[in-house]
């Protein structure tokens, strides 16, 4: 992603995108008057409360409150970043994203993505065609993989030899760029292919772009598995193997199983267990956890049952604790000795393996079992030690019902009966359609902002003189919206909202954009009526201040008397 995307381009992009068509490709919509409806994709409901407006180019759920533009929908539904959503929409519309020049230098990663995509295609071709690839094919078949699964994960083969990939790209490709992409390494000034005689596992980002590779060695050398090095677009602490594939298979994942190896992910997919990801030879990081919780509400960590697996699980528990907010869960699955997910699913079958996933140990149970194994709970001092070990861990949990329940469980385990304050009530969003807001109780200026947002064309009409001089909170926002709408007569609600740089104010505008207001007559006339009312109120307040300041009136200066006469005209 290069530089800052100019706002005019975002406005142009939103004006071209048909939000109804965009959402309908992912969530079937039905016509409902001037708008379209569906059951909300962001929460479970039986009665449709998710509405898409083609005129406003905006979506809103009256059940859970989700709302936004085409950009926001892609960010929420596809789990994309803002820049990725912009790129996705621009690609669909055949537009090239311009960049603000001061931010361009050194940040254009498109050549890296293109190079890695070509490398992935090369490796896949070698798996099918290279004379030495039979060893890789035999290995994959021995692990029970079929061609369909291998193709879904774009598995490949890096032939033996030091410069096969270099020769494939030829002299026209910069060695510096290949090195930057992690494809080659230099030894004593000579470049060599980084991955050689290995089965290749392409690692993809949320948009399906190849960002790096993992390679499984076919001979007895070391290391058995080798990943791409850190690059401008590949960071092991953030990337998760198989996440893109899992999202493509399941739009709404109930949970995700976190395993340790590439082959575990691919092998489980072979048995139609596709909600699986793997860390890339690193412990689970906070970035991994955040990425996973943006995808689903429950993470299941899968580890070997030996000491190393227990230690890895304990590290994962400590990492996940601060991320356990309302509704989120974490569980732990420990495998029998000598088994990994790949081998176990072949021994017991996918149904029995799924049963083990469903019976995974809850976080709180694993936490207390681990701590109790370190102390003697048959004595008071051991129970006291248990409390001292548990309290710092419980304190990492955010304030929530879950934290209160874990604290209560600790008290029960150590024999305390202290009364726990009632947990805060769960925030439950209604699943019924909200009635229109009583416009009589809506502050006038807020209603004026809502009118301009929902009917941008009224900004082209004449407005009362001097309305911009009003000293009323929010007048600057209204002035900005009207100016933007006048600058671009074709603007939409979505564009006006997205132009606001302040995230908090943007959220406020988004709510006003979907607030149901009754327009009994011409919207432009209502806006003029509101502004005239505010001007009249402002004049009354000025008169009162002038009179109160000069008691009796004889103390007024001639200028003040003239000003007062003008106010009463």
Q: According to the model, what pLDDT value does residue 277 have?
A: 96
Q: According to the model, what pLDDT value does residue 231 have?
A: 93
Backbone Cα Rg of the chain: 31
Q: Torsions phi, psi of 69, nearest 5? A: -100, -175
- Residue bearing tokens 């806006």: 527
Contact, 127 vs 136, CB < 8 A? yes
CATH of 444-549, one of 3.10.450.30, 1.10.3720.10, 1.10.860.10, 3.40.50.300: 1.10.860.10
| Contacts of 388 by beta carbon, 8 Å cutoff, 6+ apart | none
- Output the CATH code of domain 251-430: 3.40.1360.10
**SS3 state of residue 60:** strand
Tokens of 342: 């790949």
Write the DSSP assignment of 286-304 as a string of letters.
HHHHHHHHTT-SEEEEEEE
At the topology level, CATH places domain 7-103 in DNA Primase; Chain A (3.90.580)
CATH of 110-227, one of 3.90.980.10, 3.90.228.20, 3.40.640.10, 2.40.30.10: 3.90.980.10
Q: How far apart are CA 345 and CA 159, in angstroms?
A: 30
Q: Which of 324, 330, 374, 400 is nearest to 390 (CA)?
A: 374
Q: According to the model, what pLDDT value does residue 567 have?
A: 54
Contact, 113 vs 207, CB < 8 A? no
Q: How is the beta sheet containing 329-335 ordered, strand by strand?
A: 276-278, 256-259, 298-304, 329-335, 361-362
Q: According to the model, what pLDDT value does residue 415 have?
A: 81
Contact, 2 vs 103, CB < 8 A? yes
Residue 107 C-alpha from the chain's centroid: 22
Contact, 405 vs 394, CB < 8 A? no
Tokens of 65: 């409150």
Q: Which of 539, 532, 534 is nearest to 563 (CA)?
A: 539
Burial profile 502-515: b = 16 or more Cβ within 10 angstroms, e = fewer: eeeebebbbebbbb
- Residue bearing tokens 């009754």: 518
Tokens of 208: 């399906």
Burial profile 215-245: b = 16 or more Cβ within 10 angstroms, e = fewer: bbbbeeeeeebbbbeebebbebebbbbbbbb
Q: Which of 267, 259, 220 is nearest to 241 (CA)?
A: 259
| Contacts of 208 by beta carbon, 8 Å cutoff, 6+ apart | 244, 248
SS3 per residue for 83-105:
HHHHHHHHHHHCCCCCCCHHHCC
Contact, 260 vs 279, CB < 8 A? yes
For residue 260, the tally of other CB atoms under 10 A from its CB is 20
Q: How far apart are CA 488 and CA 177, in angstroms?
A: 42
Q: How far apart are CA 493 and CA 474, in angstroms?
A: 18
Q: How far apart are CA 293 and CA 286, in angstroms?
A: 11
Sequence spans of domains, the chain: 7-103, 110-227, 251-430, 444-549
Q: How far apart are CA 509 and CA 453, in angstroms?
A: 8
Contact, 268 vs 342, CB < 8 A? yes
What does the pLDDT profile of the chain (569 residues) look like in tens digits? 345 788 888 888 888 888 988 898 888 899 888 889 999 988 888 889 999 988 888 998 888 888 889 998 988 887 777 888 888 888 777 778 886 544 333 356 889 999 999 999 999 999 999 999 999 999 999 888 999 999 999 999 999 999 999 999 988 888 999 999 999 999 888 999 999 999 999 999 877 889 999 999 998 888 899 999 999 989 998 899 999 899 888 666 889 999 988 999 999 999 999 999 999 888 899 889 988 887 788 999 999 888 888 999 999 999 999 989 777 899 999 999 889 899 999 999 999 999 999 999 999 999 999 999 999 888 888 899 999 999 999 999 988 889 999 999 999 888 865 444 444 554 444 433 444 444 456 788 888 898 888 888 888 888 888 888 887 888 889 899 998 888 887 788 888 888 888 878 888 888 888 777 777 668 888 888 888 888 888 777 776 665 666 556 566 666 666 655 555 55
- Residue bearing tokens 């005129």: 55
């Amino acid at each position: 992603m290069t530089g800052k995307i100019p706002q005019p381009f975002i406005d142009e992009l939103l004006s071209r995108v048909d939000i109804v068509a965009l959402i309908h490709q992912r969530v079937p919509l039905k016509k409902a008057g001037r708008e379209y409806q569906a059951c909300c994709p962001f929460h479970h409901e039986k009665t449709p409360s998710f509405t898409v407006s083609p005129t406003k180019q905006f979506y809103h759920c009256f059940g859970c409150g989700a709302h936004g533009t085409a950009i926001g929908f892609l960010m929420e539904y596809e789990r994309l970043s803002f820049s990725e959503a912009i790129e996705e929409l621009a690609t669909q519309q055949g537009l090239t994203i311009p960049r603000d020049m001061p931010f361009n230098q050194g940040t254009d990663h498109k050549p890296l993505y293109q190079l890695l995509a070509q490398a992935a295609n090369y490796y896949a071709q070698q798996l099918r065609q290279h004379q030495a690839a039979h060893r890789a094919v035999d290995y994959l078949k021995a692990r029970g993989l079929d061609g369909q699964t291998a193709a879904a994960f774009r598995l490949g083969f890096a032939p033996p030899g030091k410069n096969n990939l270099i020769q494939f790209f030829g002299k026209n490709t910069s060695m510096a760029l290949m090195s930057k992409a992690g494809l080659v390494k230099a030894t004593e000034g000579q470049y060599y292919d980084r991955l050689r005689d290995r089965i290749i596992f392409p690692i993809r980002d949320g948009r399906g772009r190849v960002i790096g590779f993992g390679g499984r060695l076919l001979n007895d050398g070391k290391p058995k598995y080798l990943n791409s090095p850190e690059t401008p677009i590949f960071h092991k602490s953030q990337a998760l193997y198989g996440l893109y594939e899992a999202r493509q298979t399941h739009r709404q994942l109930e949970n995700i199983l976190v395993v340790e190896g590439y082959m575990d992910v691919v092998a489980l997919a072979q048995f139609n267990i596709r909600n699986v990801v793997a860390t890339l030879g690193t412990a689970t990081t906070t970035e991994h956890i955040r990425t996973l919780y943006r995808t689903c509400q429950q993470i299941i960590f899968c580890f070997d049952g030996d000491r190393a697996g227990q230690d890895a699980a304990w590290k994962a528990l400590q990492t996940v604790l601060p991320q356990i907010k309302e509704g989120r869960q974490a569980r732990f699955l420990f495998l029998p000795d000598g088994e990994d997910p790949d081998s176990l699913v072949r021994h017991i079958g996918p149904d029995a393996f799924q049963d083990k996933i469903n019976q995974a140990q809850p976080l709180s149970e694993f936490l207390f079992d681990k701590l109790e194994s370190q102390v003697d709970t048959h004595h008071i001092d051991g129970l006291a030690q248990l409390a001292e070990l548990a309290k710092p861990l419980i304190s990492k949990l955010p304030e929530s019902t879950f934290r209160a329940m874990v604290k209560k469980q600790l008290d029960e385990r150590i024999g305390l009966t202290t009364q726990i304050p009632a947990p805060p009530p769960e925030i439950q969003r209604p699943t019924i359609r909200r009635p229109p807001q009583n416009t009589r109780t809506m502050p006038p200026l807020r209603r004026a902002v809502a009118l301009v947002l929902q009917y941008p064309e009224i900004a082209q009409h004449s407005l009362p003189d001097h309305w911009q001089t009003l000293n009323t909170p929010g007048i600057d926002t209204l002035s900005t919206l009207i100016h933007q709408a006048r600058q671009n007569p074709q603007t939409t609600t979505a564009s006006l909202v997205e132009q606001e740089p302040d995230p908090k104010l943007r959220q406020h505008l988004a709510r006003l954009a979907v607030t149901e207001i009754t327009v009994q007559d011409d919207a432009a006339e209502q806006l003029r009526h509101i502004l005239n009312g505010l001007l009249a109120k402002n004049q009354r307040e000025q008169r009162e201040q002038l009179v109160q300041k000069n008691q009796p009136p004889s103390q007024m200066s001639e200028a003040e008397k003239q000003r007062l006469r003008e106010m009463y005209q």
